[in-house]
Structure 1
Amino acid sequence: MNSVWQQITLASLPLYQWRGTSYLHRIAGFLRSWRKQSFLMQWADPIGAAILCVLFGVAPFVSTDLIGWLLAACAAYWVLLTLTDDPAEGHPRLGLTPIHLPIALFLGVAAVSAAVAQGRALKLTAFVGVAKLSLYLLLFALMARILRSPKLRSWVIGVYLHVALIVSGYGLRQWFFGADALATWVDPASPLANSTRVYSFLGNPNLLAGYLIPAIAFSVVAIFAWRGWLPKTLAVVMTVTNTACLILTQSRGGWIGLALMVVALFVMLHYWWSPYLPKFWRYSALPILFLGLAGMLVLGVVFVPTFRYRITSIFAGSGDSSNAFRLNVWAAVLQMIQDYPVLGIGPGDQVFKKVYPLYQRPRFTALSAYSIVLEITVEMGFIGLFAFLWLLLVTFNQGGVQLRRLRELSHNSEPNGANRDGFWLIGAVTLLVGMLGHGLVDTVWYRPSINILWWLGVAIVASFYTYQQKLSPQENAEHLAKNT
């Protein structure tokens, strides 16, 4: 049974055997002689990290077109690095991990879905969607390579956290001084019709919530990962500010994602420290924490009217206007899936915008399916959904495998299991849980400023794979001690 699970999750896949016989792998590095003569390419990985820092630094403030150009720059730079790699210098070449394979399948299904799209105009539009998806996946490939370095990983995450602090700080300013609603985000007939939903630089409360979920995950683990009282204090300020701002978005999907992320965070931190906990806390810490969270939720529902109304509206069915809108959109999307079950209508939001009007119910115009599961299924059919679920399975399994390995190595080299690498991995896995929870009822992470954060989380998980493949346990422990 264990062997079957390892095969499904690619945990025992012999990638090094594939490297010795793959023609694709042999292509990588054929320009390595040029790289040896280039001064700038001696700093290839730091330059790549700088490009990533620029991307995450400007994403909340600039247009989608500019983010697209930055994604194209990241893709081009990954190609350059791959073609100039020299294994004799320790370069990773393609740097494949088990996570790369379901991602390649996902892209392949998207391409086939575009090829079978009905009509020439729809086919061309679908291939534009494939091109956009390719940019995100090449960004993942670049990050999975660059973020192998603990120092560069810490820099990229640090830049994102500082930018998120600015974004959430401006959101809190909107709460205190007021902000004009740019759309009808609250039911005019509800008691909250005059309340402020903050949106900061993202222009939409749901987008802001999707942007801040990863920030909360990373800022919490930064409390333990950053050394020194000043950095730890900054991490606490980031955690409080980001969490408060997310709550003030009044995004119910964001709250769902936050709740799931907090649960995952507690479970993983408890697992990390469990060898050092007394027997009582080893078995009682999680129940006490969850009871405390449940108590806080009950107190919030009882004593905070805004919170109570937003929570109860989740269960109001079509009695809430936002719920009614989503239910009608989902019903139309299910009809689309019924007509295109295998490979969908074709990837991309533009394809959805062209096909959805043929199925929409009166007065329920939509730009997306408002559920990541439905969106993938309607765009790429059940085959695409299978590829995505396989990607999730492999990613979370790799996260668990690498966390267990890091815990063993860290506890052998650090007396309190204080290695920073493990905390960043915990942050990456929990942000994926939170974004998935939010994505079940919304599709905000199809926006570039949110989508790049999803792939950042996946890339961080993938970036730990090479340590296990290239280093012995003793070398791994020395590597961890050197970089922490």
Structure 2
Amino acid sequence: MTNLVWQQMTLRTLRPSRWRGSSFLYRLLGGSLRSWRPGSWLMLQSEPLGVALVALVFALAPFSSTSLVGVLMMACGAFWLLVTVSDDSNWGFTPIHVLLLAYWGIVTVATALSPVKAQAFSGWVKLTLFLLLFALCAKILRSPRWRSWVITIYLHAALVVSVYGMRQWYFGVEALATWTDPTSEMASVTRVYSYLGNPNLLAGYLIPAVVFSLAAIFSWRGWLPKALAVVMAIVNSACLVATFSRGGWIGLLAAGFAMVLLLVYWWSVKLPPKVRPWAMPAVLGASGLVLVAAVLFVEPVRMRVASIFVGREDSSNNFRLNVWAAVLDMIRARPVLGIGPGNDAFREIYVQFARAKYQDALGAYSVLLEILVEAGAIGLLSFLWLLLVTFDRGWVALQGLRNAASREGYWLMAAISTICGLMAHGLVDTVWYRPPVQTLWWLAVAIVASYYNPPEETSFSQNSPFSPFSEFEEDERLTISN
């Protein structure tokens, strides 16, 4: 009984083929331009063009304006819609799509009922663009080759960002704002921000870069690509540490810890049976010792960690505590559906609840509080349900990939770790809502969704678009079987 409830809660029993047969939306849109597709050069090149659009988003996001990223996401959304209405054979519909559609619907209602409708509508448009980007990514990343291409492009962009950040660390750079309490021992420490203009934002951007570069060490073939992946992992990690972002460090610890646990699970089948039960406790113990040693013996780390526990004595802590107090009052005022999405709606309402001297805040400085204030308790529950289903789908797919000994499992582990890291960082900061970071969040969720195998498929097919195998891995599988 418990297992059945869990399967229903995580939508494991969802049958996309049955949905397609009974959905009015599918009958309205699915294949409405089917006859145009075979004779269209655009549709014959739909996959490379889709990859190019997505790649542009992740290649330019850290270097360009928010407006340009928005235009590119609009193009991605329009292209996804065009591809969808011209192809009724495979929408790539997954349980994650179901929860995202539900969340979007709740936010839409919150927008319609918002006390500041114009500002909430602006936030609704932004959210819709991010979800359309997810939809296109989830569709095209089912191909292992295109998945690897998009991740590789992001990693190269992140390497450029990190190299410039390390240059700031070595040569020094003037702070663009007061990011550190001027009365603290860390006041004179350089906090790098690279092209993103803010060390906390840079830290959020680099969390996925660290775990995906670790995955690339095992996924990429050849010593030269692997050496490049090692360099990426070292430079990205060093740059993230040099941001001295406490939220970023928390996110890095969460992402790194999740990645290590998943790697231990992945490799545990190769360990001797007597050693296998001790693998996970050993990793947990070693991780704890490394963390304690860093806090005790590395002075900048010790001072930065200590600042978390000094309460209002630290100006950054004091600011967040005052913002959170006002946000809780906002939630009590509209607990069910919130005030509507977006930072414009938040700032319009926040001034009515803000404490004296703390009347300007970009957001709630916590993802969960932000969702609660924007979409209410209903919206938060739907978002938490989305996280639950995403992790469940990732775990199910990872088990299948481990049994198949597919290298694609490393990208999946990195995507799951990215979600953990960005959520941990997002608990105490607001950078999750900035395009350079939120696009990476939806990329990670789309990667998890891209591994979805419908229940009616009894086994992975090599030629299936849902297959975890890459055509580049065929020789490896033949070697293993022989």
| TM-score, normalised relative to structure 1 | 0.94
Distance in 2, matches of 1:221 and 1:391, equals 24
The alpha-carbon deviation at position 473 of structure 1 amounts to 4.2
User: Of 210, 214, 220, which aligns to 1:220?
Assistant: 214
Q: Which residue of 2 aligns with 1:62?
A: 64
Return the letter of the residue paired with 1:363: K
- The 1:479/1:138 distance shift into structure 2, 3 A limit, reads closer
Runs of 4+ in 1 over 6 A off after TM superposition: 476-479
With 361-370 and 447-456 compared, the bigger mean Cα shift is at 361-370
How do 1:33-44 and structure 2 match up within 5 A? 33-44=35-46
Distance in 2, matches of 1:275 and 1:295, equals 25
Q: Which residue of 1 aligns with 2:383?
A: 388
Distance in 1, matches of 2:22 and 2:273, equals 51
Q: Which residue of 1 aligns with 2:248?
A: 254
Q: Which residue of 1 aligns with 2:33?
A: 31
State whether residues 467 and 476 of structure 1, in contact with CA within 8 Å, keep that contact through their aligned partners in structure 2: no
Q: Which residue of 2 aligns with 1:407?
A: 402
Return the letter of the residue paired with 1:273: W
- The 1:391/1:458 distance shift into structure 2, 3 A limit, reads same
User: Of 324, 333, 338, which aligns to 2:327?
Assistant: 333
Size of the aligned set, in residue pairs, is 468
State whether residues 198 and 245 of structure 1, in contact with CA within 8 Å, keep that contact through their aligned partners in structure 2: yes
State whether residues 301 and 307 of structure 1, in contact with CA within 8 Å, keep that contact through their aligned partners in structure 2: yes
User: Of 285, 289, 297, which aligns to 1:295?
Assistant: 289
State whether residues 451 and 468 of structure 2, in contact with CA within 8 Å, keep that contact through their aligned partners in structure 1: no
State whether residues 16 and 94 of structure 2, in contact with CA within 8 Å, keep that contact through their aligned partners in structure 1: yes
Q: Which residue of 2 aligns with 1:173?
A: 167
**Does residue 20 in structure 1 map to residue 21 in structure 2?**
yes
Return the letter of the residue paired with 2:447: I
Distance in 2, matches of 1:20 and 1:116, equals 33
With 298-307 and 102-111 compared, the bigger mean Cα shift is at 298-307
Q: Which residue of 1 aligns with 2:478?
A: none
Q: Which residue of 1 aligns with 2:410?
A: 423
State whether residues 219 and 236 of structure 1, in contact with CA within 8 Å, keep that contact through their aligned partners in structure 2: yes
Q: Which residue of 2 aligns with 1:154?
A: 148
User: Of 127, 135, 143, which aligns to 2:121?
Assistant: 127
* Residues 243-282 of structure 1, C-alpha deviations (whole Å, 9 max, x = no match): 1111110000011111111111111111111111123542
Is the partner of 1:359 in helix, strand or coil? coil
Q: Which residue of 2 aligns with 1:441?
A: 428
* Residues 390-415 of structure 1, C-alpha deviations (whole Å, 9 max, x = no match): 100110000011111111222xxxxx
Instruction: Give the gaps of 5 or more residues in structure 1.
Output: 411-418
State whether residues 15 and 456 of structure 2, in contact with CA within 8 Å, keep that contact through their aligned partners in structure 1: no
State whether residues 266 and 286 of structure 1, in contact with CA within 8 Å, keep that contact through their aligned partners in structure 2: no
Identity of aligned residues (%): 54
* Residues 3-45 of structure 1, C-alpha deviations (whole Å, 9 max, x = no match): 0001011011122111112222122211122121112321211
Q: Report the aligned-residue RMSD.
A: 1.6
Distance in 2, matches of 1:315 and 1:440, equals 16
| TM-score, normalised relative to structure 2 | 0.94
Return the letter of the residue paired with 2:10: T
Q: Which residue of 2 aligns with 1:379?
A: 374
Instruction: Give the gaps of 5 or more residues in structure 2.
Output: 474-482
Return the letter of the residue paired with 2:390: T
- The 1:153/1:283 distance shift into structure 2, 3 A limit, reads same
Q: Which residue of 2 aligns with 1:453?
A: 440
Distance in 2, matches of 1:470 and 1:317, equals 54
Is the partner of 1:99 in helix, strand or coil? helix
Distance in 2, matches of 1:256 and 1:281, equals 31
Q: Which residue of 2 aligns with 1:11?
A: 12
Return the letter of the residue paired with 1:432: I
**Does residue 49 in structure 1 map to residue 46 in structure 2?**
no
Return the letter of the residue paired with 2:58: F
Q: Which residue of 1 aligns with 2:237?
A: 243
* Residues 157-209 of structure 1, C-alpha deviations (whole Å, 9 max, x = no match): 00000000010111000000001100000100011111100000010000000
**Does residue 482 in structure 1 map to residue 471 in structure 2?**
yes
The alpha-carbon deviation at position 290 of structure 1 amounts to 3.0
**Does residue 100 in structure 1 map to residue 97 in structure 2?**
yes
State whether residues 460 and 468 of structure 2, in contact with CA within 8 Å, keep that contact through their aligned partners in structure 1: no
